[in-house]
Structures are given as C-alpha cells and as structure tokens.
C-alpha cells in the first residue's frame, strides 16, 4: 500500500471518528495496531468494530469479510465506506441490524458518561 493510500485511509478514519463524536459524544478510538497486525479493525466504538474504506471502487463483501475476521467475540462488524465523489455509507450484516433494531446491541458509553476526550 502506498504512503498516499495510507494517508487517505487514516484521514478518512479521523473524519468518521470526528463525525461520530460531534453527533453522539461517543469517543471513537483509532486502532493503530492495524498497521502492524493483520486483521485488525480501524475504529472501535463500544462493541462495534468499524472498518473504514475510502476508495475509488467499492468491494463491499470483501471488506465485510475483512471486518468479520478482525472482530473479537461480542463485537459487531460495520464497514464505513465512501467512493470518490459520493457520500459515506455504512454496511452491516442483516442479522446484526435486526439485533440493533431489537435493542440486543447496546449503544456505546457516551463521552460525557465516561469523562473521555476524543482521539485525534
């Protein structure tokens, strides 16, 4: 992966983390181990593991498989992606969305509750 690609990906991760914090107050941690260890997710938000992709072409199933391999027990994979010139999309497996709708997946603890500050 080129330096430019890594910078573009890291910038998108920071953008998504900042948007989540701005809207919800939830602190999102960038997983810096992803650069040294295979099958690590990009952002951690409670039990959600977010795999962020900023690419020209979208490969949803490939990226979801990567996110699932990165999950630890009790984590829910979500792929956040944006193609050039498009708005961001979030993709998760249908059974996971049903759990979220049904309240079986709990929202992460907010920044106000934890006293934490957002990552930079």
Could you tell me if 26 and 46 are in contact, meaning their C-beta atoms sit under 8 angstroms apart?
A: yes
Q: In this model, does residue 12 exceed pLDDT 80? A: yes
pLDDT for residue 110: 47
Rg (CA), the chain: 14
The per-residue pLDDT for range 57-102, each reduced to its tens digit, is 889 999 999 999 999 998 999 999 999 889 999 999 999 999 888 8
The listed range with the strongest mean pLDDT (17-21, 45-49, 108-112) is: 17-21
Q: In this model, does residue 55 exceed pLDDT 70? A: yes
Looking at the chain, the number of H-run helices and the number of E-run strands are 4, 5
The per-residue pLDDT for range 40-51, each reduced to its tens digit, is 788 888 888 899
> pTM of the entire structure?
0.75
3-state SS assignment for residue 71: coil
Tell how far CA 79 is from the center of its chain: 6
Write down the domain spans for the chain.
Answer: 3-113
For the domain covering 3-113, report its CATH number: 3.40.1350.10
pLDDT for residue 58: 86
Rounded Cα gap, residues 50 and 3, in angstroms:
22
């Amino acid at each position: 992966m080129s330096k430019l690609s890594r910078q573009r990906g890291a910038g998108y991760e920071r953008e998504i983390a900042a948007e989540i914090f701005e809207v919800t107050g939830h602190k999102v941690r960038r997983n810096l181990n992803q650069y040294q260890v295979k099958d690590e997710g990009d952002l951690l938000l409670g039990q959600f593991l977010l795999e962020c992709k900023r690419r020209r072409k979208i490969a949803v199933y490939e990226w979801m498989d990567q996110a699932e391999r990165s999950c630890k027990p009790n984590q829910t994979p979500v792929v956040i992606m944006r193609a050039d010139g498009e708005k961001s999309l979030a993709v998760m497996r249908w059974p996971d969305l049903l759990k979220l709708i049904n309240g079986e997946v709990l929202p992460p603890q907010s920044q106000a509750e934890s006293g934490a500050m957002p990552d930079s």
